[in-house]
Amino acid sequence: MTQPGLFDDQPFASLDAVRREALECRRCDLWKSGHRVVFGSGAERARLMVVGEGPSDADDRTGLPFSGPSGGLLDAWLGELALSRAEVWLTNVVKHRPTMTEHGRERNRPPRAKEAAACAVWLAEELRHVRPDLVLALGGSAGKALIGRDFKITQQRGVMLAGPGDVPVLATFHPAYLLRLEPPELQEAVRLVREDLALVRQTIAVP
């Protein structure tokens, strides 16, 4: 069973080794509410890594990242880049689903800073093994985890920034955010995401 700090200075030999250890993770309390660990998936050596905030309820059921409606929109964005899930690495800042109870119902919520810090070892290992040319951060929580706590999606969306190990990080809106919007805000958000995707295409040299 994983304890906080145990592997901070002991890198894993492979992504499979990281996955096996992460499946038993108890580094924060999210394991008490999340039904399963949702580890990253896709190409183990990829030009593009996509990092979301945390697993959704659909991800919690399937064990795969971006399984629900947000994943459908992300697939469309990847299609605009002429990429498939099999060609990128998809993951989240935290690997258990963060939830809150609202009006008697369990709902998704952004991960807290302590939860993201506890999970940082897994994201660091994913970055080390995948070695992407670019990380696309989806949403503010992903931006903070990769850039720093002062990151603000409203100010730094669409700006190429240096992430861990100086890997380039570009932040854009999370698909779930767009799915909640109505016109005319939706059209403006779609326009901005397409600008960001054009920069992704340029950076990783998608033909």
CATH classification of the domain holding 148: 3.40.470.10
The 3 state secondary structure assigned to 103-131 is CCEEEECCCCHHHHHHHHHHHHHHHHHHC
pLDDT at 206: 67
Nearest alpha-carbon partner for 164 in 184, 148, 188: 148
Task: Identify whether 196 is part of a domain.
Answer: yes
What is the full per-residue pLDDT of the chain (207 aa) written as tens digits? 333 333 445 578 999 999 999 999 999 999 987 679 999 999 999 999 999 999 999 999 999 999 999 999 999 999 999 999 999 999 999 999 998 888 888 888 999 999 999 999 999 999 999 999 999 999 999 999 999 999 999 999 999 999 999 999 999 999 999 999 999 999 999 999 999 999 999 999 866
Taking CA atoms, 177 is separated from 59, 84, 120, in Å, by 17, 22, 23
Nearest alpha-carbon partner for 116 in 86, 89, 137, 131: 137
Strand, coil or helix: 99: strand
Domain count, the chain: 1
pLDDT at 10: 58
pTM of the model: 0.92
The upper half-sphere exposure of residue 95, i.e. CA atoms within 13 Å in the direction of its Cβ, equals: 28
140 lies in which domain range? 15-37+44-203
Task: Identify whether 1 is part of a domain.
Answer: no
Task: Identify whether 54 is part of a domain.
Answer: yes
Task: Identify whether 22 is part of a domain.
Answer: yes
